[in-house]
Amino acid sequence: MKKSTLSLISLLFSYNAIASEQNNTIGISGSWSQSPYIGQSNQFTPMPLIDYDSEHFFISGLSGGIHLWNNETQQLDISMQYQDIELDPSDNDDVRMKQLNHRRTTLLAGLSYAITTPYGQISAEALTDVLNNSNTVSIELEYAAYFALTDKLAIIPQVGVTWYNRSHNRYYYGINENQSLASGFEQYRPSSGLVPYAVLTTSYRFNKSWSAVVEYELDWLDSEVKSSPIVNRSNMSTLTAGILFHF
């Protein structure tokens, strides 16, 4: 539910002197994630990893955008982010869930701002659904810090919170009258809510060209989500590992 997998690659290597001349990366990763939905198995997703930052635009993990203003410590961007929440009833093990509507992934866009200080990075982001799948509106605040344990090993802990509007929660976790009659689930109309999260990213730099990154994320689901009859957990975790080439 966080903005993207391995989304702080740029921050991690911007602090690392060994990467000062190799700010862009390409690689591959695998992600193991839990689903909040009843009857939906944990998912493994292989994906390419691209982190490219130029004067005018950037790509980082599952997000990208255009720099409106960018200097050594601050940046204001038009951001786009792939929101990978999905409920595919045909791929669910629960008979009742198979009667529900497909809840689709979507694309979010909006503004983001970040300031990097000697004590870490503070960022804020406001996004909305541009495909009109979920009519999501989200506002996120996040703090991230960088710690070099050795000249090759570094970690980035992150903490943040995301507010989602009621349209988002009703699309992904609500049950309307027709779906209730078809599935047997009680009707449910959640309101907006907050999702706190914590992430720990670890990087090991083999040499100037290659590194490995492992990231663990834990999201605590809001009471509006946990109370949904189609949700069977109170938190979700995601583990991602990747190999990166720097150029």
Q: Is residue 94 part of a domain?
A: yes
156-185 burial by CB neighbour count: b if 16+ within 10 A, else e?
A: bebebebbbbbbbbbbbbbbeeebbeebeb
Q: What is the CATH number of the domain that holds 191?
A: 2.40.160.40
Q: Is residue 4 part of a domain?
A: no
Q: Is residue 3 part of a domain?
A: no
**What range does the domain containing 113 cover?**
9-246
Q: Is 99 helix (H, G, I), strand (E, B) or coil?
A: helix
* 189: number of Cβ within 10 Å: 13
Apex 165 CA angle, 162 and 166, nearest 5: 135
Provide CB contacts within 8 A for 156, sequence distance 6+. 8, 11, 12, 144, 145, 146, 147, 199, 200, 201, 203
Q: Can you tell me the distance from the alpha carbon of 171 to that of 169, in angstroms, rounded to the nearest whole number?
A: 6
Q: Is 125 helix (H, G, I), strand (E, B) or coil?
A: strand
Provide CB contacts within 8 A for 123, sequence distance 6+. 112, 113, 114, 115, 140, 141, 142, 143, 144
Q: Is residue 199 part of a domain?
A: yes
State residue 144's pLDDT score.
92
State residue 70's pLDDT score.
87
State residue 12's pLDDT score.
52
> Which value, to the nearest 10 degrees, does the dihedral of the CA atoms of residues 67, 71, 73, 76 take?
-30
Q: Is residue 234 part of a domain?
A: yes
Total structural domains within the chain: 1
What proportions of the chain, in percent to the nearest 5, are helix, strand and coil? 15, 50, 35
To which residue do tokens 């799948």 refer? 133
Tokens standing for residue 212: 């490995």
State residue 19's pLDDT score.
44
Q: Is residue 2 part of a domain?
A: no
Cβ-in-10-Å burial (0-12, 13-18, 19+) of 87 comes to buried
State residue 10's pLDDT score.
46
Q: Is 15 helix (H, G, I), strand (E, B) or coil?
A: coil
To which residue do tokens 């990366």 refer? 25
Q: Is residue 164 part of a domain?
A: yes
Q: Are 200 and 231 in contact (CB under 8 A)?
A: no
Q: 49: closest CA among 211, 216, 204? A: 211
Q: 195: closest CA among 159, 143, 157, 171? A: 159
Q: Is residue 153 part of a domain?
A: yes
Name residue 120's amino acid. Answer: G
Q: Is 101 helix (H, G, I), strand (E, B) or coil?
A: coil
State residue 54's pLDDT score.
87
pLDDT tens sequence for the chain (247 residues): 554 444 455 445 444 444 445 568 899 999 999 999 999 988 898 888 888 888 899 888 888 999 999 888 899 999 999 998 999 999 999 999 999 999 999 999 999 999 999 999 999 999 999 999 999 999 999 999 989 999 899 999 999 999 999 999 999 999 999 999 999 999 999 999 999 999 999 999 999 899 999 999 999 999 999 999 999 999 999 999 999 898 8
